Amino acid sequence: MFAKLDEVENQFDRLNQQLQEPGVADDQKRYKKLMREYSDLNVLVGKYREYKKTKSDIVSSKEVLDQEKDEDFRALAKEEISELTPKLTALEEELKVLLLPKDPNDGKNIIMEVRAGAGGDEASLFCEELFRGYTIYSKNRGWNVSVMAVSNGNAGGCKEIIATISGEKVYSFLKFESGVHRVQRVPKTETQGRVHTSTVTVAVIPEAEEVTIKIEQKDLRVDVYRSSGNGGQSVNTTDSAVRLTHIPTGVVVTCQDGKSQLANKDKAMKVLASRLQQLEDDKKQKEASDQRLSQIGTGDRSERIRTYNFPQSRLTDHRIGFTTHNLGEIMGGNFETVIEPIVTHFQAEALKQQSQQ
């Protein structure tokens, strides 16, 4: 492990030198690539240097114990060793996690698609509430949320919401949200006070880079139509909404959030590219070994991942057996309560896999 860390540190220093070369910023493509690599290594190298400093301080304190006869100095050395030893162990565990193979999509923005499933109007209401919770969580993290398309429910709520979420490492935090979310509560229209069960599906798709996926114009059908829903006075008077159909795969994407047909088409193209990339990634995952599949975690959208029980204010994540009775705060945007344990769980699983290799 430490040979690998030394190699990473040397690479970090080389990147630092390259970034300081005259004229490096003139080539923006190369500059961004170098900055991305530098940023990716910064935390790991900083933690490794902290580890080496801590280890060096322990060695120095042990030398004091071996050579110093003054009891006061020896007591200080013993105290420092007792404080630094558990810190060194903790730093080593952090380094193991930081050295895990990175998901190449972790630094990407995402397309989030939230859809009402079973449960009719109640599912539509929860679809809107769940998305609102994700929106608050995202904004609290400093991310930008842009709604691209909304399909309203028959009695309020939304049948479908599609949005882009952009910011620092969005996919790394939200990738485990993909799946079936089950809600249990008494609907407003229920006169007997019975608890109903409904479902909402969430898809989290990493935004595809333009160079990653190519879409031929001959494979594309473009339809324009009038937008519906909120959006301003002219929303229903111009054919600004865009529907793209990728003929070979049958993937359909719509965007209606802007008044400009061109802007909507550009956004729809980004979503289409991301969905096609996701199809390619899913295909590769299916062809991978069982070991590889276990390492990438759960992403199957047919899998019921979580239950939101409103009568008992209980949220349960079925993948990790995590339960909290803090549902109100979570729906208010405090999703880190459940997201952090999930990320930690899958890191631990990856470490277990790595130790068995």
Tell me the two tokens of residue 302: 């047919």
CA distance 255 to 163: 10
Sign for the CA dihedral angle at 281, 283, 287, 290 comes to: positive
- Given this model, what pLDDT does residue 301 score? 40
Residue in the block written with tokens 């209606």: 256
CA distance 133 to 79: 47
HSE, CB side, 13 Å, CA atoms: give it for residue 36.
12
Nearest to 177 by CA among 59, 56, 330: 330
pLDDT averaged per 10 residues, the chain (length 357): 83 88 84 83 88 93 87 90 92 80 82 90 93 96 91 87 91 92 85 85 83 78 72 51 89 80 84 84 60 35 80 94 94 93 81 63
Nearest to 123 by CA among 168, 161, 94, 178: 161
Where is 255: in which H helix or E strand?
strand 251-255
Q: How far apart are the first and last CA of the chain?
A: 14
Sign for the CA dihedral angle at 39, 41, 44, 49 comes to: negative
Residue in the block written with tokens 């699983």: 349
- Given this model, what pLDDT does residue 349 score? 77
The single-letter DSSP state of residue 258 is S
Q: Full-prediction pTM beyond 0.95? A: no
Q: Looking at the structure, give the CATH architecture of the domain made up of residues 2-98.
A: Up-down Bundle (1.20)
CA distance 76 to 84: 12
Please state the three-class secondary structure of 190-243 as a single string. CCCCCCEEEEEEEEEEECCCCCCCCCCHHHEEEEEECCCCCCCCCCCCCCCEEE
247 close to 220: Cβ distance less than 8 angstroms: yes
178 close to 116: Cβ distance less than 8 angstroms: no
CATH code for residues 110-208+293-352? 3.30.70.1660
Q: CATH for 217-284, among 3.30.160.20, 3.30.70.1520, 3.10.450.50, 3.20.20.220?
A: 3.30.160.20
Q: What are the residue boundaries of the structural domains of the chain, listed by start? A: 2-98, 110-208+293-352, 217-284
255 close to 264: Cβ distance less than 8 angstroms: yes
- Backbone dihedral region for residue 120 (phi beyond 0: left; psi -120 to 50: alpha; all else: beta): left
In the sheet with 251-255, reading across from the earlier edge strand, the strands are 220-225, 241-246, 251-255
51 close to 88: Cβ distance less than 8 angstroms: yes
CA distance 271 to 268: 5
CA distance 151 to 162: 9
Q: Do domains 2-98 and 110-208+293-352 have the same CATH topology?
A: no
- Backbone dihedral region for residue 165 (phi beyond 0: left; psi -120 to 50: alpha; all else: beta): beta
Angle formed at CA 112 by CA 111 and CA 116, multiple of 5 degrees? 145
